Amino acid sequence: MKKYIIERNIPGVEKLQGAELRGAAATSNAALAQLSPRVQWIESFVTKDKTFCIYLADSEGAVQEHAKLSGFPANKITEIAGTIDPTTAGA
């Protein structure tokens, strides 16, 4: 599986709370269930008018299929080539 970051433009997403966030997650989970095991959602980061989602998927096409099924845009899909963090300095 490859790792992807998906940028989603969703105006006002930072204002969603409680039931709205649970509903969005449930919608995403329903689409993921249809695509399993080809796509897995790891986590999402919410910013003003955007989310940045980390997914494992067998292809970019599978990520696009999730976007279509869930109704959430996938404005930019980028395959992650590697990671770096503070512990990298000591490796």
Model pLDDT, residue 17: 94
CATH number reported for the structural domain that contains residue 17 in this entry: 3.30.70.3090
5-24 pLDDT, tens digit each: 999 999 999 999 999 999 99
Give 76-89 pLDDT, tens digit per residue.
999 999 999 999 99
Look at the block and give the residue holding tokens 């976007």.
Answer: 67
Q: How many domains does the chain have?
A: 1
pLDDT in tens, 51-77: 999 999 999 999 999 999 999 999 999
Residue 91 is predicted with a pLDDT of 80
Q: What is the Cα–Cα distance from 28 to 72, expressed in whole angstroms?
A: 8
Domain residue limits at 77 = 2-90
The better pLDDT of the pair 48, 91 is held by 48
